[in-house]
Amino acid sequence: MPHIKLECTSNVEMNFQEFFKELAEQLIATSHASKMGIKCRVVPSDIYYIIDGNPNYKMVNLLFRLREGRSKETLANFSKIGITLLSKYLEEDIQAKRIIISTEIKELIKGQDITKNAIR
């Protein structure tokens, strides 16, 4: 863990691979995420409606799914790392006032959410 999903409108342009690399490095540096557990993906959407339907508006939501048990401070730090990196990679869109960025954390319940990692 964690599973990381970047949901965004299809008009978002950024270096997703570099973003995920930097995000993974920073999460691992906290000692609360293991390198072998990090899985990242982008889920773009062609169909969206933001505020008044302006097709130039964009949105990004960075969703962390983690096993339960981390402290609230750790979870808040993960969100802070995510929003800081999103702000860095999407600075031009933020300055132009055409994007909404957010983070979200979902804790997975031990025993209900099962993982089998065949890569190890």
Domains of the chain, by residue range, sit at 3-108
**What predicted TM-score, i.e. pTM, was given to this entire model?**
0.87
Supply the mean pLDDT for the chain: 91
- In the chain, the percentage of residues whose pLDDT exceeds 90 is 74
Across 31-38, average pLDDT: 87
Is 3.30.300.130 the CATH classification of the domain at 3-108?
A: no
SS3 content of the chain, % helix, strand, coil (to 5): 35, 30, 35
C-beta neighbour count of 42 within 10 angstroms: 16
- pLDDT band of residue 1 (cuts 50, 70, 90) is low
Q: What average pLDDT score do residues 53-67 get?
A: 94
Cα distances from 53 to residues 12, 59, 96, 97, 101, in angstroms, run 16, 12, 17, 15, 17
